[in-house]
């Protein structure tokens, strides 16, 4: 057991010690850093002593080795932190997204640090001890671990107090303890969710009423674009030196919101929150499915709701609505723009195909209000180079691998910014489509990214860090809206672009756009 614990400390915690040394320079903190290594060793050994016995030692050891090899790779490569939200996001990753994350180095690391040590462990004979010997030996090891922990932490209590109080994020890099704790929490959440499944769905907006309808005014056509991984500080509208949004920057009627904070740092967490009545302070991703959301409300009131998805899925937002209102655009069976690139990746712009026919069909009997949600692939990482066609390859050279740590930071940023150019084109085309219907409808587009992205700052990549210590780049998101000049003057008038806003403003904005009133709506909006 001691050998296994030592092996895990040495092979799975390179990122942990990298983060520790950034806060505690080795020259001044040799003793404390060595002490941390021994504390981590003692904690791992303690876990093994409490859980691994004759018939469970090898299965638990293999599990720890494989978990450490996999999570260690992503921690070292992308500085990934493993909390329950990150694991849930990982479990909801589809095959295409997973393929972007995997490569030869990943396979080699899992083989060398996971599979081969596991095979060695499986073939090792277990020493046979009598029950009395086994109990005494284990008790001695347990006491030794506790004493070692007490001595180590007691001798440097001041530094450990600072470590646990002032540098909580560092603990999240300890492997495989953190992902195991997160798996336990995720399993607990799933169990509670299963128990809640038998509880009736709550409707926070049961009192919702539409104060005006197309029977007494012009019908309203709104497109809500759920962006992917677009950080605000890479927009020229927010002071970025590069013109990553050349078309939108020149489009009349666009209002950029420069201070918008995301609900979370992952798609699985943020997307349900964007359409929830709970608000960030009360929202729990595991409880979201127990409440009706704003799309449920609009559909119940007779507003046509359609969700088209070029990402993974709606993350449960559409789960309470008829299945035909959700349409996947991830394959060429529905998306006509899937073969414009070497990767046969379906493009966001393909989600606009056939919308004219959709309007004609749904408006045949009588004019109705319409909300269309388009969920982008956007800037989904780490393979930013796959997210755009050759026409948008403006910034070069580009990182052409998912091993971001192997690329210079400017190469990563170039690929990311090129993907923003593709989003700019998609949003401009969405506005162009809305303009073709402004004679018959009051039209508007609302856009917000689900979260931001780290692009190598402080050796952190991608997203998903816990909100408590996520960098601003992962939560300060790109957001904007567009309204037509031909609209009814009172419809979709934006608030000031420098207003302090968050994802909490999305649900009240969608309600206001369709003149729906409910006491459940928060007092924050993108429109007046």
Give the model confidence (pLDDT) of 469-512 as tens digits. Answer: 899 999 999 999 999 999 999 999 999 999 999 999 999 999 99
How does DSSP classify residue 202? B
Instruction: State whether the Cα torsion 487-493-496-499 is positive or negative.
Output: negative
| Cα 65 to Cα 111, 127, 145, 183, 188, distances in angstroms | 10, 21, 21, 15, 23
CATH number of 215-239+252-385+422-517: 3.40.720.10
**Domains in the chain: boundaries:** 2-193, 215-239+252-385+422-517
Beta strands 259-261 and 500-502 are parallel
Give mean pLDDT, residues 408-433. 98
* pTM for this entry: 0.77
Sequence-distant (≥ 6) Cβ neighbours of residue 462 within 8 angstroms? 78, 80, 381, 382, 404, 453, 454
**What's the pLDDT band for 197 if we cut at 50, 70, 90?**
low
List phi, psi (to 5°) of 375.
Answer: -100, 110
If phi > 0 it is left, if psi is from -120 to 50 it is alpha, else beta; for residue 389 that is beta
Question: Which among 123, 134, 167 is positioned nearest to 21, based on CA atoms?
Answer: 167
Beta strands 516-517 and 209-210 are antiparallel
Q: Mean pLDDT in the chain?
A: 92
How does DSSP classify residue 214? T
pLDDT over threshold 80, residue 155 = yes
Q: Are 226 and 274 in contact, with CB atoms under 8 Å apart?
A: yes
| Cα 29 to Cα 13, 18, 157, 159, 436, distances in angstroms | 18, 13, 14, 10, 66
Give mean pLDDT, residues 282-302. 94
Give mean pLDDT, residues 240-250. 98
The confidence score (pLDDT) of residue 161 equals 67
The confidence score (pLDDT) of residue 61 equals 92
The confidence score (pLDDT) of residue 198 equals 63
Instruction: State whether the Cα torsion 429-515-492-481 is positive or negative.
Output: negative
Q: In 3-state terms, the chain is what percent helix, strand and coil (to 5)?
A: 50, 10, 40
Question: What CA–CA distance (Å, rounded) separates 229 from 420?
Answer: 10
The confidence score (pLDDT) of residue 154 equals 84
pLDDT over threshold 90, residue 354 = yes
How does DSSP classify residue 459? G
């Amino acid at each position: 057991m001691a050998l296994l614990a030592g092996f895990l400390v040495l092979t799975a915690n390179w990122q942990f010690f990298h983060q520790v040394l950034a806060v505690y320079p080795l020259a001044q903190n040799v003793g404390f850093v060595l002490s941390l290594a021994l504390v981590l060793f003692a904690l791992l050994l303690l876990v093994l002593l409490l859980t691994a016995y004759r018939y469970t030692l090898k299965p638990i050891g293999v599990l720890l080795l494989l978990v450490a090899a996999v999570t260690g790779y992503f921690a070292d490569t992308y500085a990934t932190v493993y909390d329950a939200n990150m694991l849930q996001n990982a479990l909801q990753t589809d095959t295409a997204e997973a393929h972007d994350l995997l490569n030869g180095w990943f396979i080699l690391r899992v083989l060398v640090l996971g599979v081969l040590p596991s095979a060695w462990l499986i073939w090792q004979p277990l020493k046979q001890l009598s029950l009395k010997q086994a109990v005494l030996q284990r008790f001695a090891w347990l006491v030794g671990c506790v004493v070692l922990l007490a001595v180590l932490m007691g001798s440097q209590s001041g530094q450990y107090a600072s470590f646990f109080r002032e540098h909580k994020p560092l603990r999240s890099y300890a492997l495989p303890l953190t992902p195991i704790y997160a798996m336990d929490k995720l399993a607990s959440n799933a169990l509670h969710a299963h128990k809640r499944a038998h509880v009736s769905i709550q409707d926070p907006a049961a009192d919702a009423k539409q104060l005006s309808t197309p029977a007494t005014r012009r019908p309203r056509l709104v497109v809500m674009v759920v962006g992917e991984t677009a950080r605000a500080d890479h927009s020229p509208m927010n002071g970025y030196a590069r013109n990553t949004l050349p078309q939108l920057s020149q489009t009349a009627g666009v209002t950029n919101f420069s201070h918008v904070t995301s609900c979370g740092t992952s798609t699985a967490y943020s997307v349900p929150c964007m359409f929830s009545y709970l608000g960030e302070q009360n929202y729990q991703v595991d409880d979201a499915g127990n409440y009706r959301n704003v799309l449920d409300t609009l559909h119940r009131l007779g507003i046509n709701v359609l969700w088209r998805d070029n990402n993974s899925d709606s993350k449960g937002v559409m789960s309470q609505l008829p299945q035909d209102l959700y349409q996947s655009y991830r394959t060429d069976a529905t998306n006509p723009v899937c073969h414009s690139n070497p990767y046969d990746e379906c493009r966001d712009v393909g989600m606009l195909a056939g919308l004219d026919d959709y309007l004609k069909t749904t408006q045949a009997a009588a004019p109705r209000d319409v909300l269309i949600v388009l969920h982008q692939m956007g800037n989904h990482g780490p393979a930013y180079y796959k997210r755009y066609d050759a026409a948008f390859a403006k910034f070069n050279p580009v990182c052409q691998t998912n091993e971001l740590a192997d690329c210079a930071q400017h190469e990563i940023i170039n690929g990311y910014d090129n993907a923003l150019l593709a989003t700019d084109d998609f949003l401009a085309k969405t506005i162009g489509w809305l303009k073709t219907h402004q004679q018959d409808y009051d039209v508007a587009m609302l856009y917000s990214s689900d979260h931001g992205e780290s692009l190598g700052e402080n050796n952190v990549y991608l997203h998903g860090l816990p909100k408590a210590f996520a960098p601003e780049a992962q939560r300060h998101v790109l957001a904007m809206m567009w309204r037509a000049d031909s609209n009814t003057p009172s419809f979709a008038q934006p608030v000031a672009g420098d207003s302090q806003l968050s994802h909490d403003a999305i649900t009240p904005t969608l309600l206001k756009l369709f003149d729906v009133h409910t006491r459940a709506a928060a007092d924050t909006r993108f429109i007046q």
